[in-house]
Every structure is written in structure tokens, then in C-alpha cells.
Amino acid sequence: MGIKAADECVYVIWKRIRGLRYVNPINQDQEKKKFFASPSYNPHFQYPPLKFDADYYKKKLRECKKHLDQSGIAHLINAKIDKLILWIELLENRGKEPYTKCGIAYYGKPSPELVETAKKILAKKIKDNEQYTLSAKEVAEFLRRQAKRWNIPWSIEIKKHLGARADNVTSEKTIYLKHGEQFSVEDAKRLAIHELGVHARRALMGEQQSYKIFLIGTAEYEATEEGLAAAVEEIKQVSTPKVLKSYAGRVLAVHLSLKHSFRAVYSHLVEYFAPQEAYQLTMRAKRGMLDTSQPGAFTKDYIYLKGMEEVKKIKDIKKLFSGRIGIEDMPKEYFD
């Protein structure tokens, strides 16, 4: 097995284990109703069982390392292998005490400086004048037309139990919209840029490279991925103060969840957001936990604002569209 074979092996395993389906609660609707029916209730989430042998895949990934040399590509693949092993360990520990530590090992956690930035954004009073009259089906049709217009061969589907209103699964070349959600016209335009114009396009460009590491994403690609999507929203003028406020809310939700219960986090966020949005932000930060009355978090959501700040420091963001690469994974001269 050489570098190419190791790259292919990592790709095959990545297709089986990645995606957020294993951390999105399958009883979201029931627990949400209980939460709003009782002023003291903390959700108890349930998750789908893992459909792969975690120990087997960790072993296979470690075996791939033996066939890597000292080249730059091998370095990227090696770092990705470490990251995928962390991901498997995170999934194994859903609902268990080590879960939060696994999440921090994978994603990190918001710095005090980023938390302060988020608080400053949230302190600004803004009005949400958008009209949420579009169904998921209507937005899906709009995105399908945009994908066809932009020559992006991805599917747009509607799905239950998503942790967000929209999600993309690169391994399936599919963008999912959450069943039952209502969207505004501004939401639809932003999703076209965010999901198709950035996420899908970066994946398509990565697919054209010689190594699949640029399709599956380098080790630290995710903060760049979400930060770039947020930055391009601004460039294309489809972002709004409401969107930036949501990104700031995600940072605060993660920060608070590390130390507080679901109910306590929600109670803080509802000072800045409408009840439904405050709940959604809290749920995203508490994904992967069973008893959300306990401190702990799925820390991913802070990377949107973090990544956005990092991307804005790059002079030529076109280079970020060569594949699903992370700013931290590439040499500094790459962006000169």
C-alpha cells in the first residue's frame, strides 16, 4: 500500500463514519414539546446506533499510517487519519462523560476573545423583518434550479431529525433541508450561496484533485469551510445582521453549555433570541448528550464565527476553492 492506496482507504472509511446523523437527536420533536410544556424540564435525547465497527475502523486507519512517507500530501493524510480517529471516539462516547472532551479534542472550544466578540455582536439591537413563508419543499425547488444553473450535480432533499435547518453531506452529494421548517426569501438566497456556492463547489473542486484528501477535507478544514461560507455570504450581499447574530449566538451557546444545563443556556439565550431560535441554538450545542441537565457540549458551532474571522485575513480567498482545505493545514506562502 502506497500513498495513493492509503488516501483511498481513508476516503472509504470517511464515507462510512462522517456526517452529523449520529449526533442529531432522533426524538427532537417530542423533547421540544416537553421542554416548552414544563419550565424546569431538560431534554433527554436519543440517537441512532452506530452502523459500523468503531474498533475495526480505528485499526484500519492506524494501519494506513504505516504506508505514508514524509511528503506534504502524506502529512495531510496523516493529520486527517488522527482527526477521523478522534471523530470515531467522539461518536463512541455519545451520552457518556468523555463526550465533551472528545468534542474539544476534535473541534476545540471558543477562546475568551471570541466569546467577547460574540457578546458585542449580541449587544446590538436588530430587527428581524423577514417573512418566513416558504416551506422546505419550496426552498428545495429553488435550490435545485440554482444547482442546475450553476452546473452543480448535487441533490436537494428534505429530511427529519436534522440538527440544523439545512445540512450538506458531501459523501452523498446532497443538501438536506429540515422537514417542517419555514424559510424566508432571504434564507433561500443565503442557502444557495452557503450550501451550493461554497460547500458543494469546494467539494467539486476537491474531487478534481489527484488525491481524495482534498474532497474529504484536510484535518482542520471545517473552520475554514464554515468561515468561508459566512464570508462569501457577505461578499455576495446575502448576509444580514440577523445571520451574524446567529453565528454569535452559536459561540455563546457552546461557551455556556460547557458549564451549564440546557435550561440554563436557553434562559440566557432567550434574552437575545425568540424562544424557538434560542431553543434551536441550545439544542445544536447540546447534541450528542443524553441528559442535558448536565454540563457539556458539542462544540462545533463556534467555528462559524472563528472561521469567518480567519478567512477575512486571507487576501485571495479564491485559493480556498481548490478543494476542502483548511487555512491551518496549508503553508503560509500558499496564500501569498
Does the pLDDT value for residue 189 go beyond 90? yes
Predicted confidence (pLDDT) at residue 129 exceeds the cutoff of 90: no
Q: Buried b / exposed e across 209-240, counting CB within 10 Å, b at 16+?
A: eebbbbbbbbbbbbbbbbbbbbbbbeeeebbb
Least trusted range by pLDDT, from 110-124, 136-150, 258-272, 304-318: 304-318
Q: Identify the domain containing residue 143 by its residue range.
A: 3-335
Among the listed residues 64, 4, 65, 62, the one whose alpha carbon sits nearest the alpha carbon of residue 212: 4
pLDDT of residue 66: 87
Residue 336 has pLDDT above 80, yes or no: no
250 has a pLDDT exceeding 90: yes
Q: Percentage of the chain with pLDDT > 90?
A: 84
Interval 317-324 mean pLDDT: 92
For 285, how many CA atoms within 13 A lie in the half-sphere containing its CB?
Answer: 37
Quick one: pLDDT at residue 1?
64
Query: Across the chain, what does the average pLDDT equal?
Result: 94
Q: What is the Cα gyration radius of the chain?
A: 19
Q: pLDDT category, 99, cuts 50, 70, 90?
A: very high
Which pLDDT band holds residue 163 (cuts at 50, 70, 90)? confident
- If one compares 129 and 139, the residue with the highest pLDDT of the two is 139
pLDDT in tens, 22-53: 999 999 999 999 999 999 999 999 999 999 99
Q: How many whole angstroms from its chain centre is CA 138? A: 24
pLDDT of 161 higher than 90: no
pLDDT class of 332 with cuts at 50, 70, 90: confident
Average pLDDT of the segment spanning 192-219:
95
Number of domains present in the structure of the chain: 1
Percent residues over pLDDT 70 in the chain? 99
Contact in structure between 319 and 331 (CB atoms under 8 Å): no
- Smallest CA-to-CA distance from 225 within 195, 192, 191, 245 is with 195
pLDDT band at residue 158 using 50, 70 and 90 as cut-offs: very high
**54-58, 65-69, 133-137: which has the minimum mean pLDDT?**
65-69
Q: What does the pLDDT read at residue 55?
A: 97
The residue count of the chain comes to: 336
CB burial of 135-153 (b: ≥16 within 10 Å; e: otherwise) equals bbeebbebbbebbeeeebe
What's the average model confidence in pLDDT over 312-330? Answer: 90
pLDDT at 98 over 90: yes
